[in-house]
């Protein structure tokens, strides 16, 4: 396919916001995800040549300023699908999502990069959400973070070989979250490496029941949140990599709070339907954030 010239791209910069996400939500391993009202803000402009990257906020001292940056990788993959090649890019990333904390910073970068590329081309060339989801999942490997970052809200998702799906599910308007963010992170790869290759059939059945109950709890049966967030598949296996987080989950659950490890950790998330202020439970050196549910997903905010 011939490479289109400059008119294939919109004039001027495009700015979008992409939300943080929490995957698993306790028992929904690799299949349940929730978008949260904490956003990275990404701006991109097609320029005559080169690659300029500015990063402020989270990760400003560690993230690369070249083709290795995950947003750039996602943009390049999206441009390949779109069949265009920009002559150059000027990028600015204002990061508010903590890095390597289980709040979907990598998924936000992937979904944000794909959405940026899509928004930079003429609207006649743009692909739909289904293409974006498949592309994002291919880069991330698991849909439970990228799907809510793309769609917003509470999402039930899954994959089978090359097929991926994501279905927005109802969530009661009273539900919000409290995130307890520790000062140091844990890599997703390290956390996944602690999981067993097989689990007992009874354990799998118990976990399936909790995940199904959680869908009902988030949809309105809010008194079921504590039982619905009970996990048997992954959290305890990962406790050695984040003992303080696991201990906090146990303490909060013993007090009746629907607490769990967010994603691969080490952030602890609590779902609440009564606006409870649990910030006094925040361990020293950690940061407590009260977060609403984001219902929009990634969206262009300018122009």
- Enter the tokens of residue 36: 């949260």
Q: 298 vs 109, 113, 174, 194, CA distance in Å? A: 11, 10, 22, 32
For the chain, the distance separating the N- and C-terminal CA atoms, rounded to the nearest angstrom, is 30
Helix (H, G, I), strand (E, B) or coil at 240: helix
Identify any residues that bridge with 53 across adjacent strands, giving them in sequence order: 91
Could you say which DSSP state residue 98 is in? Answer: P
The answer on whether 98 is annotated among ligand-binding residues is yes
The answer on whether 27 is annotated among ligand-binding residues is no
The answer on whether 245 is annotated among ligand-binding residues is no
- Enter the tokens of residue 262: 């967010």
The answer on whether 22 is annotated among ligand-binding residues is no
Query: Residue 129 and residue 165: Cα distance in Å, rounded?
Result: 11
The answer on whether 100 is annotated among ligand-binding residues is yes
The answer on whether 240 is annotated among ligand-binding residues is no
Q: φ, ψ for residue 83 (rounded to 5)? A: 80, 30
The 10 Å CB-count burial string (b at 16+, else e) for 258-283 is bbbbbbbbbbbbbbbbeeeebeebbb
Query: Residue 127 and residue 146: Cα distance in Å, rounded?
Result: 17
The answer on whether 108 is annotated among ligand-binding residues is yes
Q: 296 vs 25, 113, 152, 236, CA distance in Å? A: 19, 17, 5, 33
The answer on whether 257 is annotated among ligand-binding residues is no
Could you say which DSSP state residue 159 is in? Answer: E
Binding residues for ATP: 98-108
Binding residues: 98-108
């Amino acid at each position: 396919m011939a490479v289109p010239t400059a008119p294939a791209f919109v004039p001027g910069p495009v700015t979008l916001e992409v939300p943080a996400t929490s995957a698993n939500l306790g028992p929904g391993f690799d299949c349940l995800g929730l978008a949260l009202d904490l956003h990275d803000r990404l701006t991109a402009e097609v320029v005559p040549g080169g690659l300029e990257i500015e990063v402020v906020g989270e990760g400003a001292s560690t993230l690369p300023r070249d083709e290795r940056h995950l947003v750039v990788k996602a943009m390049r993959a999206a441009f390949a699908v779109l069949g265009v090649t920009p002559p150059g890019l000027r990028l600015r990333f204002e990061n508010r999502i903590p890095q390597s904390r289980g709040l979907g910073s990598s998924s936000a970068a992937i979904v944000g990069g794909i959405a940026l590329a899509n928004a930079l081309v003429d609207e006649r060339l743009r692909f739909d959400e289904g293409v974006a989801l498949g592309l994002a999942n291919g880069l991330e490997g698991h849909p439970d973070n990228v799907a809510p970052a793309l769609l917003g809200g509470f999402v039930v998702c899954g994959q089978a070989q090359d097929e991926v799906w994501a279905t927005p599910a109802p969530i009661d308007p009273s539900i919000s979250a409290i995130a307890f963010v520790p000062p140091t992170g844990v890599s997703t790869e390290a956390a996944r490496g602690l999981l067993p290759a097989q689990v007992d059939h009874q354990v799998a059945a118990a976990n399936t029941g909790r995940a199904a109950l959680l869908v009902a709890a988030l949809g309105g049966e809010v008194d079921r949140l504590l039982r619905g967030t009970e996990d048997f598949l992954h959290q305890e296996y990962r406790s050695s990599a984040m003992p303080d987080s696991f201990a906090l989950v146990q303490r909060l659950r013993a007090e009746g709070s629907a607490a769990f490890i967010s994603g691969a950790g080490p952030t602890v998330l609590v779902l609440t339907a009564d606006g409870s202020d649990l910030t006094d439970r925040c361990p020293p050196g950690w940061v407590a954030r009260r977060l609403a549910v984001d219902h929009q997903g990634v969206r262009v905010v300018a122009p």
